[in-house]
Structures are given as structure tokens and as C-alpha cells.
């Protein structure tokens, strides 16, 4: 699952919020120097989307987003992914609110 929400006011570094549910094999994270569990993670990050010559550029600013372990698994499966999608739908609004608050950005009220 991957979707974009357009920001209410675009900034120099962000035009959209990227909301993505993805599977991660886990292992050692070299940025945090910690072991990460294998599973499905929901991430929310401000991104800048630019259309150029028939393609879209997606730019991030480091350390402006967040991720949350939605479902820890021992292996990837369709059933686990469906369960993770259901749980991610419940958590999505709170992660969006956290990222918006941390980065002083806003999304339209109807989203």
C-alpha cells in the first residue's frame, strides 16, 4: 500500500505526505545501531513531488518522517499483509497527526 496526501500549504521541502505500508526483512539498522524485527511497517513522511519530462521525482528530507511496526512476522504472506493493512488503517491518522505536528505542516480537513 502506498498513497500520497497533498499538503494544505506546500513548503520548500514538501508538497505531499507519503503513507506506505511495507514489508521489512528486519536485521541490524546501521542508523540506529539497533536490531529491527521482521514485519510490516507503516511509514509516514513528508515528500516533495516534482513532474519533469514525463517522470516524477520524489525527494525526502532526512529524519522528518516516522515508521511504526504494525505486525511482526516470521515470513511474508498474503494473510499477514491483509492483517497488517487492517491494523495500519487504524493507526494511520495518529501517525499522520504526529508527522504533521513535528514538521509544522497541515493536510486538508476532508482527508
Grid coordinates representing 29?
539498522
Residue 41, pLDDT score: 98
So where are the chain's domains?
2-102
Which pTM was predicted?
Answer: 0.91
Cell of residue 8, nine digits: 494544505
Q: pLDDT tens across 10-46, in order?
A: 988 999 999 999 999 999 999 889 999 999 999 999 9
Retrieve residue 49's grid coordinates. 513531488
Q: β-pairing, 66-72 with 27-29?
A: unpaired
Closest by alpha carbon to 26, among 14, 38, 44, 13?
38
Beta bridge partners of 39: 24, 72
Amino acid at each position: 500500500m502506498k498513497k500520497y496526501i497533498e499538503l494544505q500549504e506546500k513548503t520548500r521541502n514538501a508538497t505531499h505526505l507519503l503513507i506506505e505500508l511495507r514489508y521489512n526483512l528486519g536485521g541490524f539498522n546501521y542508523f540506529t545501531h539497533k536490531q529491527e524485527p521482521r514485519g510490516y511497517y507503516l511509514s509516514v513522511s513528508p515528500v516533495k513531488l516534482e513532474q519533469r519530462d514525463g517522470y516524477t521525482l520524489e525527494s525526502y528530507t532526512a529524519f522528518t518522517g516516522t515508521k511504526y511496526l504494525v505486525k511482526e512476522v516470521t515470513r511474508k504472506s498474503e494473510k499477514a499483509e491483509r492483517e497488517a493493512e487492517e491494523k495500519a488503517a487504524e493507526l494511520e491518522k495518529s501517525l499522520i497527526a504526529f508527522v504533521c505536528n513535528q514538521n509544522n505542516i497541515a493536510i486538508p480537513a476532508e482527508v
